[in-house]
Amino acid sequence: MGLGSILKNEFAFISGNYLILIVSWILMDIGMEMPVPYYQQYVYALGGDIFPMALGILGFTNFIAMAFVAVPGGFLADKFGRRWLITTMTFFIGLSYLFFALAPFWQITQAWHLILIGTFIQSLCLIYQPALFAMVQDSLPRERRGVGSSIINMIHGTMNTPGTIIGGVLVLTFGLIAGMQAVYLLVMSLFIAAAIWRLKLKETMVNPEKMRFRYFISHYPQAVKESLRVWKIVPRTVLYLFIVEVMTMFTMALITVINAIYARDILNIAQNQWFLTYVPMLITMIIASYPIGKLIDRVGMKIPLLASPCVLVVSMLLFVNGNILSVTISMALFGLVQMMMMSAGMALSACLVEPGNRGKIVGGLNFVGYILTGIGMLLGNFFYNLIPQLPIYITMIMAIPMMLLIIFRIPEPTKEERKF
């Protein structure tokens, strides 16, 4: 069998909805990463330095709003279908970036308040996330879920890399304020293009009910009940996986809300060098994504799950008192943690949870995870103002119970247990 035939057989599952989502992610990921390296500095330049909890409040607002829509998002995805939510909300997310671009012109209150408004609107639009992840699981064959999840991470890493470089070059060329405005306008254009492309998606739910806007409010109590009830019927392993995943989200939030400011003000890493630390992280995710996916499909999910908190501790040790080199390595390991946890978690959940409950499980995970992420960002900013190293130390301590839960409470599922 020739190389072409091998590759064709290996990646034949990349078609239909899965292919459409990959193309849209390429467009969106190029844009999403552009503002990330200098987002914290942008907020500080727009008045965030005057109010030292600005970054924490932005992060808290972002994830609390996302939590508010996570549960109904999962319920609506399972009841009314995936496609409508995905296509409509992608359009509105793109338009929300206009608030970020126009923030420097805002003079009624502090300029970063317009970023707060844009963040809130954008977060509400992410009600489509459970539908998105459910459609991915619906579209992947059982024997390709590990590779399929890792390819998504590889796409994120591959397309995030040029986004980081483009954003960094624009900021270095036009300055922090004008450069970030150009970045956000470009991000908006890419998201709208992705939304148009996603109109090609086909619904994966059988006979979904017709969606109406009023259903969001009227079905909220039922959505909460359904999302709680589903935990009575899923295997106990899914619950422990849920706990580990939300703990990971909390610990990472402690770090991501202050890492750029910490690097600039505590480690004395030059602002014009910071965006370079993202490039090796994204390249690492590209290189490691496929081997991790194959490991999950052939060996199992537990090894990458257990490796995640271990690698997180190493990453934090390199970061806490690091220089530009050790911080760059730390960032690469930090990205590896995210990829291993996401790929293994998605694959494990998919093989244990029936399709009709996947949206509710993802919605429940997002609900609790987003609340803890929002609290983590608020506390990360608060702890940083007390003792700059405190968020890093707390992250390392929390990795210990995560390891213990994975070792003693999340067994590798047998073939008989892999029902879906």
Is residue 373 over pLDDT 90?
A: yes
Mean pLDDT of all residues belonging to the chain: 86
Quick: pLDDT tens for 12-46. Answer: 566 678 888 888 988 998 899 899 999 999 999 99
Which sequence spans correspond to the domains of the chain? 12-203+220-409
Q: Write the CB contacts of 387 (distance below 8 Å, at least 6 apart in sequence).
A: none
Is residue 6 over pLDDT 70?
A: no
**Which pLDDT value is given to residue 3?**
56
Residue 142: both structure tokens together: 């059982």
Is residue 1 over pLDDT 60?
A: no
Is residue 139 over pLDDT 70?
A: yes
CB 204 within 8 A of CB 82: yes
Quick: pLDDT tens for 112-132. Answer: 999 999 999 999 998 888 788
Q: Structure pTM? A: 0.79
Q: What is the CA radius of gyration of the chain?
A: 21
CB 126 within 8 A of CB 64: no
DSSP alpha helices (H): ranges in 126-258? 129-139, 145-174, 176-197, 215-218, 220-229, 236-256
Q: Write the CB contacts of 56 (distance below 8 Å, at least 6 apart in sequence).
A: 257, 377, 378, 379, 380, 381, 382
**Which pLDDT value is given to residue 199?**
92
Highest mean pLDDT among 81-85, 319-323, 414-418: 319-323
Quick: pLDDT tens for 181-192. Answer: 999 999 999 999
User: In the 8-state DSSP scheme, what is residue 230?
Assistant: G
Q: Comparing 165-169, 363-367, 414-418, which segment has the lowest mean pLDDT?
A: 414-418
Is residue 282 over pLDDT 80?
A: no
Q: Which residue has the higher pLDDT, 164 or 154?
A: 164
In one-letter notation, the amino acid at residue 338 is Q
Task: Return the closest-CA partner of residue 315 out of 260, 267, 252, 375.
Answer: 252
**Which pLDDT value is given to residue 17?**
81
Q: Can you name the CATH fold of 12-203+220-409?
A: Growth Hormone; Chain: A; (1.20.1250)
Quick: pLDDT tens for 252-273. Answer: 999 999 999 999 999 999 988 9
Q: Which residue has the higher pLDDT, 52 or 194?
A: 194
Quick: pLDDT tens for 223-242. Answer: 677 777 888 888 889 999 99
